[in-house]
Amino acid sequence: MYELIYAVIRQIPTGKVATYGQIANIVGDCSARMVGYALAILKTGSDVPWQRVINREGKISLRSNGTESILQRQLLEDEGILFDGKGQVDLNKFGWSGPDLAWLVANDFYPA
DNA sequence: CTGATGACGGTGC
DNA sequence: GGCACCGCCATCA
């Protein structure tokens, strides 16, 4: 059911990040909460780069656990994404512009 | 079936 | 600029 959301997230290139709202806007048929929930039920070992999805503040969203946020940050830094002193990502620099138009058309995401 | 919850976001104060 | 509230809708109890 969340394949649609996962498919979009998989399009995020290495070294870029996207916000929940961005994903929701691309998918179009769901709210930001759905994106977050989709990642919440995502199990470890998935091929979905969930670490590249952060909130609109450019910060890593804490799960109920909260400890994995550290891992998420390390994964992002390993991809070349830098954090400022407040642990935030510069969306203006690492923000994802969205998937290729060709990909959108191929997946029937083309905006009406 | 009904009510509560949540990796969020936008608006209002 | 920071904080409180409301809306979003699939999942869970």
- Residue A111 above 70 pLDDT? no
**Confidence band, pLDDT 50/70/90 cuts, at residue A21:** very high
**Rounded distance, CA A18 to CA A66, Å?**
20
The answer to whether A32 CB sits below 7 Å from nucleic acid chain C is yes
Average pLDDT estimate for A10-30: 91
Which of residues 33-52 of A have CB within 7 Å of strand C?
33-34, 37, 41
Supply the pLDDT for residue A44: 76
Please give the mean pLDDT across all residues of chain A. Answer: 89
**The nucleotide closest to A23 (CA, C1' atoms):** B8
**The nucleotide closest to A31 (CA, C1' atoms):** C8
Closest CA to A36 of A15, A12, A18: A18
Residues, CB < 7 Å to strand B: A 19-21, 24, 31-37, 39-40, 42, 50, 53, 55-57, 60-64, 68-69, 72
Average pLDDT estimate for A28-51: 87
Stated pTM of the model: 0.89
Closest CA to A7 of A26, A20, A21: A26
Supply the pLDDT for residue A15: 95
Spatial CB neighbours of A89, under 8 Å, sequence gap ≥ 6: A17, A54, A58, A59, A76, A81, A82, A83
**Confidence band, pLDDT 50/70/90 cuts, at residue A10:** very high
DSSP string, A24-92: HHHH-SS-HHHHHHHHHTPPTT-SS-GGGEE-TTSSPPP-SS-THHHHHHHHHHHTT--B-TTS-B-HH
**Rounded distance, CA A58 to CA A73, Å?**
11
Structure tokens belonging to residue A82: 């830098």
